[in-house]
Chains A and B, each alone.
Chain A
Amino acid sequence: MTQTQAQTPTRVATKPRKISRRTLASRVPHYVALLVTGVLFLAPVAYMIAASLAPASDTLAGFAVFDVTQWGFHNYSGVASSLSTDSTGHLWRFFAVSFTVTVAVVGLGLIVNSMAAYALSRLTWRGRGQALFVILLLLIVPFEAVAVPMFYLYNDARNTLWIQIVPFIGNALSIFIFYSFFNGIPRSIDEAARMDGANPWGIFWRIIAPMSKPAYASVAILTFLTQWGSFLWPVLMISDPNLRPLPLQISVFAGQLPPAWGQVMAFGVLLVLPVIVVFLIFQRWFIEGVASSAVKG
């Protein structure tokens, strides 16, 4: 990731100086293309925001939804009061559940999977070869292929928090990303540390892990994105409104009769807002995390 960063600034610095007027003119179509695609990409988001602010009667009345003079925050107060009892579930709890599940899966997943990858990459133990082979095999088993049998096997854990977390901690893809990354770290570094008397744990925690921040970032972001949007598993396992994560809740809320679309869209805005904030703050990590996962995959 350091390479990409290093290249970009030099280009910015040199190019405009060389051929400035010509590029300016040639940039006009470029900007037009950027803008047109930008508008197309933004339109659904703009619609969601507009519908969350517009009166209910305008949600499904074509362009009326963009009539700024009618906008207000009534849908936001509406969704807060619609979702405020134990029977319907509380608005704050849907966020708390999604947040807890996501943070736990990401955090524990980072630890557990990087440890496994380290053991596979650096330690010698019986069955290592077989374990590596099995993980490569598991890499192609998508969660969807085991969702149904899991639904049956773990039925006793319906409506619990842990069943939303534990199955997703161990992850073959994460292990593989870490494993590839660790393999790229020269072994001479471990050797030097071992000479200084460090044990495998020490080498891992103090040397390998800190050197592997890009791998941690990409695994964290990939896990975060999958987990925050997780839908299939909660559909099958969660009926208690107090343990429902956000994506499931919004589909539940949208299915209510009569549908309060303005409130649904307000809920949608609230749902993505924290992610967008996280995304804007860690934008570089996001983009590099996603990008470097590909290089390894």
Chain B
Amino acid sequence: MLAPQRSRPLAVTIGAGLSLALMLSACSGSPEGGDSADGTIDVWAHSGQASEAAALETLVKEFNSSQDDVTAKLTLIPEADYTSTIQATSPDELPDVMEMDAPTMAAFAYDRKLIPLEDVVSSETLDNRISGVKESGTYNDATYAVGLFDVGLGLWGNKTLLAEAGIEAPTTADEAWTVEEFRTNLAKLAEVSPSGKAIDLGEANGFAAEWGTFTTTPNIWSAGGTLMKDGKADGVLNSQENVDALEEWASWKEFADPNTSGSAFPDGQTALTWTGNWMYPTFSEALGDDLALMPLPDFGNGTKAGHGSWQWGVTPAAEGNTEAAGSFLDFLLTDESIAAMVEANAAVPGSTTALEQSELYGPGKPLELFATNLESACSSDDVSADCIAVARPVTPGYPTVTSSFGSALLAIWGGADVQGELDSAARAIDSDFSDNNGYQDE
């Protein structure tokens, strides 16, 4: 039999493991909710676009060195799990300040994970917000979130390739291509695009994730449909307009580049890409004057675009010392901070004064289209032909809405029957709403 001495190294390894465990938990400083009393606030933000996360890290550092009273500790959580993570974290374990995607705000307010900001953030900051940001931060008539920016979704083109195919790029919403023109152009552009594919539709971001809802809802709004009306999805989400719009969308797959590399469009491999403002810095650096920004195609009810982006709220963990949280948000919402952030993601600045000073937005400037889109904004319940920027539904049940719709989108992209998928998504949403008493909040 083998010698019995062997248990000693085992004991040593276990001992080493345990002491390392102690060490790790001692210095982990895990987000243990608000230790705001000692002037430290925990901050959670999503990490999706590398440049955006880097800009935020810089802002936090600047905030910490700008004054001595409050230290903000930033934790970056991957975008894919961000919303689920907050959902899974109980209010007292949350950080003091957290970022959230606009449409999820209502769900967190409903779960008492956010506190109203009227007494937390200064009134100058609140009054200076552009209307789109105001709207997407409001739930039950109170402000639960403030944002540094709003978002723009558009169709970007490579002018050289467009010219090669003999196509002129529309610049204003009125000139948007009809969906028939868009389809014809895709076929033409596929021939001139080096990859053989005309467009990157953002498939690599995952249509089952929030990206899917954000990027395809303009199609259904533009076709005259919407996601929900009066807390009901059946008969709305699965309407004929939506089915036709998504059938059309799925038919673009033959022209779509999978963009696994993440740089098909800036590398000049495809003539078009369908994405948001945050890609502008990359695109303009790669393509320069060759870059064109166009409205999304018009399905009949006028071109539409999404609105409502990442924004910030304060949690009950900060209660008792909301001043520190407020000072951090006031800092984030200064024109200087906003300018630094939008330099990284080229979003529409969220304060009126920052918007006026912007080098990207305003008459004749490169991203004018996004700002003008936001001027005629409306809610998802009531989409008129005149409005362009539409907000996703503000309801505590939104996580179910987007998760059901996203699953349907992914299946549709994979070739599944559109009507069947939307019928089933609508029923799933309605049954969740009825389980939760329609998410009536007081």
A residues touching B (Cβ–Cβ < 8 Å)?
A: 57, 59-60, 85-88, 93, 96-97, 99-100, 103-104, 107-108, 110-111, 151, 155-156, 158-162, 165, 206, 209-211, 213, 235-236, 239-243, 252, 255-259, 261
Contacts and interface: CB of A to CB of B under 8 A. Distances in A.
B47 A206 contact: no
A213 B2 contact: yes
Contact of A97 (B7, B24, B31, B49): B24
16 contacts: A60-B260, A86-B74, A87-B57, A87-B76, A93-B24, A99-B20, A103-B14, A103-B20, A104-B18, A107-B17, A155-B90, A210-B1, A210-B2, A210-B7, A211-B4, A261-B261
Contact of A240 (B16, B28, B88, B282): B28
B10 A110 contact: yes
The 9 nearest A-B residue pairs measured at CB: A210-B4, A103-B17, A107-B14, A258-B262, A239-B85, A252-B78, A87-B74, A87-B76, A100-B21
B262 A257 contact: yes
Interface residues of B, number: 49
B80 to A, nearest CB: 5
A155, A162, A252, most chain B CB atoms within 10 A: A252
A110 B14 CA distance: 10
Interface in B1-32: 1-4, 6-7, 10, 13-14, 16-18, 20-21, 24-25, 28-31
A88 B6 contact: no
A156 B28 contact: no
B48 A256 contact: yes
Interface string B199-225: 000001100000000000000000000
B237 to A, nearest CB: 27
A243 B30 contact: yes
B10 A107 contact: yes
Nearest to B28: A242
Interface in B28-47: 28-31, 45, 47
B13 A107 contact: yes
A105 to B, nearest CB: 9
B80 A159 contact: no
B138 interface: no
Contacts of A258: 49-50, 262-263, 282
B89 interface: yes
Nearest to B27: A242
Contacts of A111: 14
Given A156-B90, A240-B30, A103 B13 contact: yes
Contacts of B88: 151, 155, 158, 236, 239
A210 B78 contact: no
Interface string B59-75: 01000000000000111
Given A161-B21, A239-B77, 10 more contacts: A88-B53, A97-B24, A100-B24, A239-B88, A252-B80, A255-B80, A256-B47, A257-B48, A257-B262, A259-B262
Nearest to A85: B57
A84 to B, nearest CB: 11
B423 interface: no
B258 to A, nearest CB: 10
Contact of B25 (A110, A161, A210, A213): A161
B96 to A, nearest CB: 15
A160 B30 contact: yes
A217 to B, nearest CB: 10
B89 A239 contact: yes
A74 to B, nearest CB: 16
B180 interface: no
Given A107-B14, A161-B21, A243 B28 contact: yes
